[in-house]
């Protein structure tokens, strides 16, 4: 008999009988046929479970292994793993359920690409009353986010040979053994796939992590150690702390001393900020010089129509650091930035608007530390409005690019905590970003055909096109008095050019924060997303003044 494609692995220890029956029913309801189910009874004391296991064992696709002593979830799962014969193993807890198409959907992905070693899917919870709730629409593969949160979790399907190669589940990580295994698998996997559909129903029972992580405090500490061990293996110098929201905060240490060039295009605009009439660029440069703890930097001012006295004052604010580059052509933000980059000397470029004000003293160190990972192309801080609300937490796509969390309080943690930890984004606001010089050049700098708006969206897409990740971090904050220094309106030609290049991707659900607006509006439980997206977008538009209107031709086909 040929080996099955999938081995579903289930360690069993005194589950609620009804939940276990539902779990079994979900396995037998699979539309795929090439599977086996390996159950390891970890010395359950409930006789009803023993009887159920006997009944299940009568099916030829089911194997029941009975341990002679209780060993915990790690030992039981490893027993199941070693008994499994399938090419891939799927992890199913004894009180959870698979959707009927779960294995078939995974099989489709694995058949389409035989380099995929790990597949994870979206998940949904079953509350104590048996109702589906809390639908988690997960991001595409996001290693940075995984360091803060075990977002992959259920359903996880891994190539069995690779799981054995990395040593299976490890002792000492009880409660976070799956997170630890996910790290080791993804470090070794050739490719990783995400299925953006719910394939797993995670039951909330009293005492389970699904109901409340506080029930298992040891799991948090095990998680912290799993993250720390992963960082050590991949060579990231950092410490790991548990946050007040029970996520992990990875505090990176910069191990190199790069020279940083801060490029600020300006025309010397004066505006009223925080009750004072100021030259924006002067305030910006003063905040850099007075607040930054990093000292290996230059400030390249690309200027036109600027008052000579302002230039003199800039030199006084940051003596020996200011490089003034005159620009004598019609306004083009992209061209000014490109010129500044060519005249700069640092190997890290910071693109900074003149209408900004540095909040976090260690902002350069925080941003630069992320760039020590070679596949990180650009990193941006949390941008704040003058009143302290969030101006941008990166970009997400939904009928075009939007700011993530614009107008939100900094107290809001966002859907699944995404505003509390660094994570991948489809784009970053160019009011403040840092990138390696070589990538700025590799990507061709900013597109001068986008002189005002969307050059950041375009540049972010170019970096992702070149296979680099963009990281947003809340661990550094910069005030951004958006569009104070220029006209915020966007000409139609910019839209045309942007859509010409990136087209459908801008309208599709976002890769890293899918349905962000939808989930942020508290509608995560709504299942018909296409229908309700319109409502949510309307809510977000009400919340953030100045956003455009949704037009009929932009609506999804329902």
Partner 1 sequence: MVSQGPASITQLTTPSHVLRDMSEMTVEELRIEVLRLRDELIGAQAEIGNLRGRLDVKHRNYLALNSVHSAQRVLRGSDDDYVRAARRVLGFTRWVLLRAPRQLARKLLDRG
Interface residues with partner 1 (CB under 8 A)?
338-339, 342, 395, 399-403, 429, 441-449, 453-454, 457, 461-462, 465-466, 490, 492, 495-496, 498-507, 547-548, 551, 553-554
Q: Which residues contact 232 (CB under 8 A, 6 or more apart)?
A: none
Distance CA 270, CA 485 (A): 8
Closest distance of CB 412 from partner 1, Å:
20
Closest distance of CB 506 from partner 1, Å:
6
Task: Provide φ and ψ at 335, rounded to 5°.
Answer: -65, -35
Give Cα 537 to chain centroid, integer Å.
Answer: 21
237 or 466, CB closer to partner 1?
Answer: 466
Q: Enter the tokens of residue 438.
A: 């070589």
182 or 334, CB closer to partner 1?
Answer: 334
Closest distance of CB 532 from partner 1, Å:
19
Closest distance of CB 447 from partner 1, Å:
5
Closest distance of CB 346 from partner 1, Å:
16
Tell which residue, 157, 320, 331, 336, has the closest CA to residue 263. Answer: 336
Closest distance of CB 520 from partner 1, Å:
16
Cα of first residue to Cα of last residue in the chain, in angstroms, is: 45
Q: Enter the tokens of residue 522.
A: 């508290």
Task: Provide φ and ψ at 136, rounded to 5°.
Answer: -100, 105
72 or 407, CB closer to partner 1?
Answer: 407
Cross-strand pairs, 98:
200
230 or 403, CB closer to partner 1?
Answer: 403
For 231-282, the DSSP string reads: HHHHT--EEEEE-TTS-EEEEE---S---EEEEEEE---EEEETTEEEEHHH
Closest distance of CB 406 from partner 1, Å:
9
Q: Say how many C-beta atoms besides its own lie within 10 A of residue 294's C-beta.
A: 18
43 or 501, CB closer to partner 1?
Answer: 501
Closest distance of CB 302 from partner 1, Å:
13
Element of type H or E holding 352: strand 348-352
Q: Which residues contact 225 (CB under 8 A, 6 or more apart)?
A: 172, 173, 176
25 or 342, CB closer to partner 1?
Answer: 342
Q: Are 424 and 512 in contact (CB under 8 A)?
A: yes
315 or 449, CB closer to partner 1?
Answer: 449
User: What 3-state class would DSSP assign to 174?
Assistant: coil
Q: Are 430 and 401 in contact (CB under 8 A)?
A: no
Closest distance of CB 436 from partner 1, Å:
15
495 or 532, CB closer to partner 1?
Answer: 495
208 or 448, CB closer to partner 1?
Answer: 448
286 or 302, CB closer to partner 1?
Answer: 302
Cα torsion angle, 164, 166, 171, 175, sign: negative
User: What 3-state class would DSSP assign to 318?
Assistant: coil
Q: Encode burial over 258-282: b for 16+ CB neighbours within 10 A, e otherwise.
A: bebbbbbbbbbbbeebeeeebbbbb
For the chain, the residue count is 558
401 or 474, CB closer to partner 1?
Answer: 401
Closest distance of CB 368 from partner 1, Å:
23
Closest distance of CB 500 from partner 1, Å:
5
As a dihedral over the C-alpha atoms of residue 221, residue 225, residue 228, residue 233, rounded to 10 degrees, the angle is -160
């Amino acid at each position: 008999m040929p080996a099955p494609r999938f081995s579903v692995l289930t360690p069993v220890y005194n589950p609620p009988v009804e939940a276990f029956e539902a779990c079994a029913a979900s396995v037998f309801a699979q539309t795929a046929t090439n599977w086996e189910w390996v159950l390891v009874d970890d010395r359950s004391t409930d006789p009803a479970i023993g009887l159920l296991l006997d009944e299940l064992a009568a099916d030829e696709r089911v194997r029941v292994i009975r341990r002679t002593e209780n060993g915990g979830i790690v030992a039981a799962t490893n027993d199941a793993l070693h008994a499994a014969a399938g090419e891939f193993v799927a992890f199913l807890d004894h009180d959870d359920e698979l959707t009927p198409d779960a294995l078939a959907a995974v099989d489709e992905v694995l058949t389409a690409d035989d380099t995929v070693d790990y597949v994870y899917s979206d998940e949904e919870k079953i509350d104590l009353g048996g109702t589906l709730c809390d639908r988690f629409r997960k991001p595409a593969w996001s290693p940075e986010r995984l360091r803060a949160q075990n977002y992959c979790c259920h359903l996880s399907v891994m190539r069995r040979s690779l799981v054995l190669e990395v040593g299976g589940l490890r002792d000492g990580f009880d409660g976070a053994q799956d997170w630890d295994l996910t790290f080791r698998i993804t470090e070794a996997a050739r490719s990783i796939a995400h299925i953006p559909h719910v394939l797993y129903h995670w039951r909330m029972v009293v005492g389970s992590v699904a109901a409340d992580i506080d029930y298992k405090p040891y799991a948090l500490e095990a998680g912290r150690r799993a993250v720390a061990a992963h960082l050590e293996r991949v060579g990231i110098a950092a410490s790991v702390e548990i946050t007040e929201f029970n996520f992990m905060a990875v505090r990176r240490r910069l191990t190199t001393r790069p020279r940083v060039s801060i490029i600020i295009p300006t025309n010397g605009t004066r505006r009223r900020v925080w009750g004072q009439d100021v030259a924006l660029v002067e305030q910006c440069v003063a905040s850099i010089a007075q607040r930054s703890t990093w000292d290996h930097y230059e400030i390249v001012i690309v200027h036109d129509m600027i008052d000579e006295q302002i230039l003199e004052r800039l030199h006084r604010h940051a003596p020996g650091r200011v490089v003034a580059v005159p620009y004598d052509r019609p306004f083009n933000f992209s061209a000014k930035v490109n010129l500044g980059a060519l005249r700069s000397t640092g190997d890290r470029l910071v693109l900074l608007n003149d209408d900004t004000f540095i909040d976090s003293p260690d902002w350069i160190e925080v941003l630069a530390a992320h760039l020590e990972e070679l596949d990180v192309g650009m990193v941006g801080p949390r941008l704040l409005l003058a009143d302290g609300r969030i101006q941008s937490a990166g970009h997400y796509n939904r009928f075009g690019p939007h700011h993530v969390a614009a107008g939100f309080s900094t107290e809001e943690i966002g859907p699944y905590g995404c505003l509390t930890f660094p994570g991948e984004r489809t784009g970053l606001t160019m009011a403040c970003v840092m990138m390696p010089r070589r990538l700025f050049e590799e990507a061709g700098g900013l597109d001068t055909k986008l002189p005002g708006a969307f050059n950041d969206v375009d540049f972010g897409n170019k970096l992702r096109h070149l296979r680099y990740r963009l990281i947003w971090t809340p661990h550094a904050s910069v005030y951004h008095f958006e569009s104070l220094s220029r006209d915020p309106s966007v000409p139609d030609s910019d839209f045309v050019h942007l859509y010409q290049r990136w087209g459908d991707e801008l309208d599709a659900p976002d890769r890293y924060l899918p349905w962000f607006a939808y989930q942020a509006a508290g509608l995560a439980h709504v299942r018909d997303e296409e229908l309700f997206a319109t409502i949510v977008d309307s809510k977000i538009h009400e919340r953030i003044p100045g956003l455009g209107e949704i037009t009929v031709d932009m609506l999804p086909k329902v």
